[in-house]
Amino acid sequence: DSGVTQTPKHLITATGQRVTLRCSPRSGDLSVYWYQQSLDQGLQFLIQYYNGEERAKGNILERFSAQQFPDLHSELNLSSLELGDSALYFCASSVVGQGAGVGYTFGSGTRLTVV
């Protein structure tokens, strides 16, 4: 157990729908990162939050959004889902918001299937 908890583990939904993925960071970690892993794109950085504030954005679609709550858990919202959004979504956490270094820990991911 890495200490980073992601729920749900699996999610199947229809095109056009909206889903919310949840991440609880490792105790003491202030920063949360979201990554998408698809077969043809590998692991792609989506967005980072540090202590409740957005810190960096990567290749995140406008249909996707995220937030980090006062208790430091984070949610990734995916809307108007398309077949191509099917992927593994990973959350990682670290103590600091920059130069994360070795203290970067990944959760086990949420497998999203859009049908």
Is 73 a binding residue for other proteins by CB under 8 A? The answer is: no
Query: Mapping DSSP to helix (H, G, I), strand (E, B) and coil, where does residue 103 land?
Result: helix
CA–CA distance, 55 with 77 (Å, rounded to integer): 17
Is 42 a binding residue for other proteins by CB under 8 A? The answer is: yes
Task: Compute the chain's Rg from CA coordinates.
Answer: 13
Query: Can you tell me which of 24, 48, 68, 74 binds other proteins, judged by CB under 8 A?
Result: 48
Give 40: exposed, middle or buried? Use CB within 10 Å, 0-12, 13-18, 19+: exposed
CA–CA distance, 66 with 68 (Å, rounded to integer): 7
- C-beta of 61 vs 100, nearer to other proteins: 100
Query: Which of the ranges 16-24, 27-35, 60-68, 71-79 carries the binding residues for other proteins, by CB under 8 A?
Result: 27-35
Interface positions with other proteins (CB under 8 A): 2, 4, 31, 33, 35, 42-45, 48, 55-56, 58, 90, 92, 94, 96-102, 104-109
